[in-house]
């Protein structure tokens, strides 16, 4: 297993939730952290929290990754890195007939096209022996979350194809969590979040949803294991066994 001590890690969407937990864990192991996110205020808050733990944050990049012109511009100015983690990917509910076309297009743009661009740009900045880890998802079906389902399949295909293209210089994988209570759902009412949590706890064989640290540990595992590439690691409590 490779060490993270002295490595440079870029996390896109790292100012809160799973991405922030990845930043904390990697930073505690000695990595230098770069954070990219939409809100400068949240990035500043994240840096302050990490600095209080003695974690070095070398760069903050305020950028909406869904704006591909801005994303191209930001990647031109950032430093090269050893590892990249992308938390990018909108979610939705509803099948093909029920969902609004604009929502379908938004989610596919987010999960599929934006991560393809991230992979293309990251491959040029990646150090020898480095890795790229995307975030897909599991637990849903096409008839219940059509664009999310397509986007997740696209990310898995992206990881496989990009892994073959950039080897042996680097590795590419994806982590696939199922529904987890994180700040991603901050615009949803607490009652609705709890209702969703209970639903997933009932259908997951382990009878609970994941903790954020259980998800974050998967990203560190994929960064540190030098012989895993082109793979998807499902952290879902066995939900797809049903």
Outline where DSSP puts E strands in 63-166. Answer: 81-86, 126-135
Residue 1 lies in a domain: no
Residue 135 lies in a domain: yes
Q: Could you tell me if 87 and 19 are in contact, meaning their C-beta atoms sit under 8 angstroms apart?
A: yes
Residue 213 lies in a domain: yes
- Domain with 77, as residue range(s), is 8-235
What is the chain's pLDDT, residue by residue, as a tens digit (242 residues)?
Answer: 789 999 999 999 999 999 999 999 999 999 999 999 999 999 999 999 999 999 999 999 999 999 999 999 999 999 999 999 999 999 999 999 999 999 999 999 999 999 999 999 999 999 999 999 999 999 989 999 999 999 999 999 999 999 999 999 999 999 999 999 888 888 889 999 999 999 999 999 999 999 999 999 999 999 999 999 999 999 999 999 97
H/E run at residue 37: strand 32-37
CA dist 146 and 206 (Å) reads 25
Into how many domains does the chain fold? 1
Residue 242 lies in a domain: no
CA dist 239 and 92 (Å) reads 18
Residue 2 lies in a domain: no
Report the CATH number at residue 216: 3.40.50.720
pTM: 0.95
CA dist 178 and 143 (Å) reads 16
Q: Could you tell me if 15 and 45 are in contact, meaning their C-beta atoms sit under 8 angstroms apart?
A: yes
């Amino acid at each position: 297993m490779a060490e993270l001590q002295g490595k440079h890690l870029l996390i896109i969407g790292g100012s809160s939730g799973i991405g922030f937990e990845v930043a904390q864990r990697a930073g505690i192991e000695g990595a230098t952290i770069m954070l990219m996110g939409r809100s400068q205020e949240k990035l500043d808050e994240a840096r302050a929290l990490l600095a209080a733990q003695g974690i070095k944050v070398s760069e903050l990049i305020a950028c909406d990754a869904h704006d591909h012109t801005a994303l191209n511009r930001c990647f031109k100015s950032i430093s090269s890195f050893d590892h990249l983690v992308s938390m990018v990917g909108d979610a939705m509910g509803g099948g093909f007939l029920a969902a609004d076309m604009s929502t379908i297009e938004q989610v596919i743009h987010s999960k599929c096209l934006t991560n393809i661009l991230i992979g293309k740009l990251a491959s040029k900045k990646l150090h020898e022996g480095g890795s790229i880890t995307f975030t897909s998802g599991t637990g849903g079906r096409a008839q219940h979350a059509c664009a999310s389902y397509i986007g997740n399949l696209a990310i898995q295909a992206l990881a496989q194809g990009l892994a073959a293209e950039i080897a042996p210089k680097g590795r590419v994988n994806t982590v696939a969590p199922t529904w987890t209570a994180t700040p991603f759902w901050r615009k949803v009412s607490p009652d609705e979040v709890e209702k969703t949590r209970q639903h997933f706890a009932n259908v997951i064989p382990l009878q609970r949803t994941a903790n954020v640290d259980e998800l974050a540990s998967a990203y560190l595992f994929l960064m540190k294991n030098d012989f895993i590439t082109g793979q998807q690691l499902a952290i879902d409590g066995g939900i797809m066994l049903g």
